[in-house]
Structure 1
Amino acid sequence: MPTIKFSKDILDFLKKLEKNNDRDWFNDHKEEFKTNQTKAKDGFKFIYDSLSKHDLVDTFKVFRIYRDVRFSKNKLPYKTHFSASFSRKKPELRGGYYVHIQPNNNSFIATGFWDPNKDDLLRIRKEFEQDDQEIRAIVNDKKFKKVWGEFEGDELKTAPRDFDKDHPSIDLIRKKQFIFTKKYNDEDVISDNFIDDVNASFIAVRPFFDYMSDVLTTNLNGESII
């Protein structure tokens, strides 16, 4: 069986699209696009299959190449990357995975919580307010940090309403997103072990997901709400 990977052809096509981001060029190269889109989808499917061996992943979504320009100042019609998201089984499991393939060393993977709804965000903040030791132990673990580094994402400049701005956990409570990212260069992406590295990196985030899933499926007394 041939090795499933993201080939150099995919990156080369995206580079050309970046230089020729218009409908005429795209229509003239539609077959080349379809060929490379299929290759990318094969890679994303293999990532999904790898994730499914150690996690309950409901579905994966490959994002369309077409940009929504209706409310954007950037009117270029096409994205210059291929990407996919992978959702964990709800309601008992929370969090998700994202893979972004873009040339010129702009590829990355991401995981965590991009946009928690109002209720989830309040529950997370209340947990941090009550006890931040477990979450800090997880994200400050040396093995975890070696893979994922520091928290990323938007945060408030001050305390949310009804929270003490001088609380010891205010650095966590202020956050609106709880994201980790890992970057890759082009040589990484086309290597034979790229998908294995992606999968291993997603395995490494499991302690964080286990903690957050427990928080979001229980009340502050630790009683199940599902």
Structure 2
Amino acid sequence: MNFSHLFSFLETLQKNNNKDWMDAHRSEYVAVRDGYIAWLEQMNIKLAAVDLDYFDTPGKKAINRINNNLMFQPNKPIYKDHFGAGLDQVSRQGDFYIEMGVHECYMGGGYWHPSPNILKSIRDAIDYNGDEFKEILHKDSFKKCFGNMIEGSQLKTSPRGYDVRHRHIDLLRRKSFAVSHYVTRKEIMKSDFDHKVIEVYKEMVPFRRYLNKAITV
């Protein structure tokens, strides 16, 4: 994958974020997109080799649309400033997300502002076995890779049905459960970047499996 070409295309697109420009440069976009899909195909194979529970996700299924959804976000530009994709994708939520963009590049996973039903399931799991989740979060290698979970809005008191003195109230108040590992373009350009992706994926597996199990039980 020519990541240098990918970033160059995205930077130029952001300076010409309109349909006429995209139509005139459609072949270049397709070449970059297909190159990214091919790289995702290779990562799909490599990740399946290190995780017996990996959910096969072909590159064409993994990649997200480059168009912003203007119906819900009318003030955003027509096209995104990044290529995003979700591997190990049983559904669009809880996958292993990879984003390469003009302003930031990262790998992430978990649930960001999940629906009320999913959030309730996660809170029920924490109520039942929050110690296991905290053990994952406090593991030295996990904290080194991701730090803390991404900050988001939280309840000021306890969720309905939970005592404010609950020993896991710090987690129960959360409305999102997600982590991310940021990378630089320099790291992406290195020959061992695929290996880095694999290592980040492996470190994230227990976190993602805990949450994914919580919403299926």
**TM exceeds 0.5?**
yes
Per the alignment, do residues 153 and 53 of structure 1 end up closer, same or farther by CA in structure 2, a change over 3 Å counting?
farther
Max Rg structure: 1
Ranges in structure 2 where 5+ consecutive residues have no aligned partner: none
Higher relative helix content: 2
Superposition map of 1:29-108 within 5 A:
29-55=25-51, 56-59=54-57, 60-89=61-90, 95-104=94-103, 106-108=104-106
How many Å apart are 1:84 and its aligned residue? 0.7
How many Å apart are 1:121 and its aligned residue? 2.6
Query: In structure 2, what is the Cα distance between the partners aligned to 1:73 and 1:188?
Result: 34
How many Å apart are 1:74 and its aligned residue? 2.0
Query: In structure 1, what is the Cα distance between the partners aligned to 2:179 and 2:135?
Result: 16
Query: In structure 2, what is the Cα distance between the partners aligned to 1:214 and 1:69?
Result: 33
* TM-score, normalised relative to structure 2: 0.85
Query: In structure 1, what is the Cα distance between the partners aligned to 2:36 and 2:83?
Result: 7
Superposition map of 1:96-135 within 5 A:
96-104=95-103, 106-114=104-112, 116-135=114-133
Alignment-mate amino acid for residue 24 of structure 2: D
Query: In structure 2, what is the Cα distance between the partners aligned to 1:200 and 1:6?
Result: 21
How many Å apart are 1:183 and its aligned residue? 0.8
Query: In structure 2, what is the Cα distance between the partners aligned to 1:115 and 1:57?
Result: 23
The CA deviation string for residues 141-161 of structure 1, in whole angstroms up to 9 with x for no partner, is: 101111121112534322211
SS at match of 2:163: coil
How many Å apart are 1:45 and its aligned residue? 1.5
How many Å apart are 1:72 and its aligned residue? 2.1
Equivalent residue number for residue 221 of structure 1: none
The CA deviation string for residues 90-117 of structure 1, in whole angstroms up to 9 with x for no partner, is: 8xxx93200001124x111111233544
How many Å apart are 1:75 and its aligned residue? 4.5
How many Å apart are 1:215 and its aligned residue? 4.2
* Percentage of pairs with the same residue: 26
Superposition map of 1:61-210 within 5 A:
61-89=62-90, 95-104=94-103, 106-114=104-112, 116-152=114-150, 154-158=152-156, 159-210=158-209
- How many residues are matched? 210
Alignment-mate amino acid for residue 142 of structure 2: F
SS at match of 1:167: coil
Query: In structure 1, what is the Cα distance between the partners aligned to 2:188 and 2:2?
Result: 6
Per the alignment, do residues 76 and 120 of structure 1 end up closer, same or farther by CA in structure 2, a change over 3 Å counting?
closer
Per the alignment, do residues 81 and 136 of structure 1 end up closer, same or farther by CA in structure 2, a change over 3 Å counting?
same
Query: In structure 1, what is the Cα distance between the partners aligned to 2:81 and 2:211?
Result: 33
SS at match of 2:62: strand
User: Is contact 1:8–1:190 with CA below 8 Å preserved after alignment?
Assistant: yes
Per the alignment, do residues 6 and 112 of structure 1 end up closer, same or farther by CA in structure 2, a change over 3 Å counting?
farther
Per the alignment, do residues 117 and 22 of structure 1 end up closer, same or farther by CA in structure 2, a change over 3 Å counting?
closer
Ranges in structure 1 where 5+ consecutive residues have no aligned partner: 219-226
Per the alignment, do residues 156 and 16 of structure 1 end up closer, same or farther by CA in structure 2, a change over 3 Å counting?
same
Query: In structure 2, what is the Cα distance between the partners aligned to 1:203 and 1:114?
Result: 20
SS at match of 1:200: helix
How many Å apart are 1:190 and its aligned residue? 2.1
SS at match of 1:150: coil
Structure 1 vs Structure 2 CA RMSD: 2.3
Alignment-mate amino acid for residue 15 of structure 1: E
